[in-house]
Amino acid sequence: MEKKPLIGIIGGNGKMGCWFKNFFEKNDLKVIISDIETEYSNKEIAEMSDIIIISVPISKVTEVVKEIRNHIKKESLLTDTTSIKRYPLKEMKKAKCGVLGMHPLFGPICKDMKNKTIVFCRARDNIYVDFLKKLFRKNGANILEISPKEHDKQMAILQSLLHFTNISFSYFLYSKKFKSNPNFLTPSFKLQSLVLGRILAQNPELYADIEMENPYFRKISEEYIKEITKFQKIIKDKKYEEFKNKFNLSSSYFSEFIKIAEEKSTEILKLLEKQVIRVGKPKKINLKNAKVGFLGPEGTFSWIGAKTIFKNNVKLKPFINIRDIFKEVAEGGVDLGMVPIENSITGIVSETMYSFIDFPVKSIGSFKIPIHHVLASYEKDTKNIKIIKSHPQALLQCKKYLDENFPNILREPTSSTVAPILEDKNSSVGFIVPLLTAQKYKLNILRKNIEDYKNNFTRFFIISQSRIVIKNLKPKNTLILFAVYDKVGILRDILSIFADNKINLSALHSIPSRLHPWDYMFFLEVEKSYDSIKKIIKKLEKYCPYIRILGSA
């Protein structure tokens, strides 16, 4: 093929349409799209393109095909990305061009198509069918060729029935207002919750189409419900032998896979050991007598911040690390958590960012406290100080002062600013601590304000399961976590959306992904409330396979 084909995607601003647009552009192919408020109409895409891809909801495919089929060049290829093949292909074959039914068995959250499967239902071949097949295989995809009828029969069980079962189960939990302590969830429920979460994160219109438009699913669902009714009667009548017989028959049907499933699910459960899974809506918080977690022990800057914001209305609970605070908030062990997010000198706190990714909690506000250090000791004279101990950050923030005034004194980093005070009563030890901490532990204050930068601040987020109004906090900004498609200039395109709408950004940080080397998540702070930028966030979807609102600040 001498000339590269022009790719036209109808529905190019949808999630799957965006995914394929980025894919083809990465493979040096020109792509044009039509969608709401785009330069080209559906008919113009049909007239101009060599390969026309319909990426719209299943229920809209027939309507789009009727609109464009008389505008497609005879030598072009008409294809689609929908989960139903029989009826759409019947309509597509009325066009006088090449026709191919495609079904990518993966979603737009996937980074690429390596080791993924794309179904081909051939209807009327031309050169572009083989072109797509070679291109997809070159990018690591598996091509599975099958008839439209067999495809829809398989999908009636693999998609429609599976989704029907999970959505029904999740709605049942909702209808019963079922709640459970995260520590009480069984291993099987934890595994099932991953499937539920993945399904419920999708577009309900798509899943309605998958169940309602598949011509074979109605019969399958009726047969399935009959089997459930039979099982229900077996349980009601306590027919143990019949139950065991059905169980064993089911087990034998999957016998080749059972041991592998047991092994692989155990690996997944190990990954979930530190992941909180919460069922149901979060409880309401009464700020009076609420439990607040902070980075302890008492005497740290986190403790000072907590005392500043909450006064004496709450019960403070110290934690050794930031992740434990997130975990306790997510599990309901404490009502609120206070975590450092950024220091004006040393920058972002990565442990806080990763914890936001891992736990289902939100920020409900932020505040800053000034960072001032004193040199304190059980000793009264600096001449008798032999060693200075403190947290590495405190030592770093006072480095210039220490170099000039105590150049020959040993410095020892510790787990917190308070830890050495509690552990070492030796009078020859100096401690770098906040003023309030020195006063709390009745230390002698040898020097005040020894920090190198006088305008040093640490910013904290208050995290919670649910929104609550705290008098001293007035959140105005929205926090967003997102991943991007792998495309040149993608961040520029995202930032342009905010610039074009005259919306300022307070922060943009990249966080290395733990899933793939050299992949990144991005943390964005927008100087607008969430309600005022909902439409803007919708526009981000064409560039971002994953978007999560982390709350307000």
Give me the residue label for tokens 């307070």: 506
Q: Which residues pair with 479 in a beta bridge?
A: 525, 551
Q: What is the pLDDT of residue 274?
A: 65
Looking at the domain 476-553, which fold is it? Answer: Alpha-Beta Plaits (3.30.70)
Give CATH for domain 7-146: 3.40.50.720
Q: Which residues pair with 339 in a beta bridge?
A: 461
Q: What is the pLDDT of residue 519?
A: 74
Parts of the chain with a pLDDT under 50: none
The alpha carbons of the chain give a radius of gyration, in whole angstroms, of 30
Which residue, 546, 530, 512, is CA-closest to 348? Answer: 512
As given in the structure block, the two tokens for residue 212 are 């309602």
Q: What is the pLDDT of residue 518?
A: 54
Spatial separation of the C-alpha atoms in residues 144 and 549, rounded to whole Å = 37
Spatial separation of the C-alpha atoms in residues 465 and 355, rounded to whole Å = 14
pLDDT in tens, 314-330: 899 999 899 999 999 98
Q: What is the pLDDT of residue 470?
A: 79
Q: What is the pLDDT of residue 61?
A: 94
Q: What is the pLDDT of residue 543?
A: 85
Q: Which residues pair with 510 in a beta bridge?
A: 522
Phi then psi dihedrals of residue 36, to 5 deg: -65, 130
pTM, rounded to two decimals: 0.76
Q: Which CATH class is domain 374-447?
A: alpha beta
Let me know: does 128 contact 6? Beta carbons within 8 Å: no
Spatial separation of the C-alpha atoms in residues 208 and 227, rounded to whole Å = 23
**Based on the number of CB atoms within 10 Å of its own CB, is 398 exposed (0-12), middle (13-18) or buried (19 or more)?**
buried
Which residue, 346, 364, 358, 319, is CA-closest to 467? Answer: 364
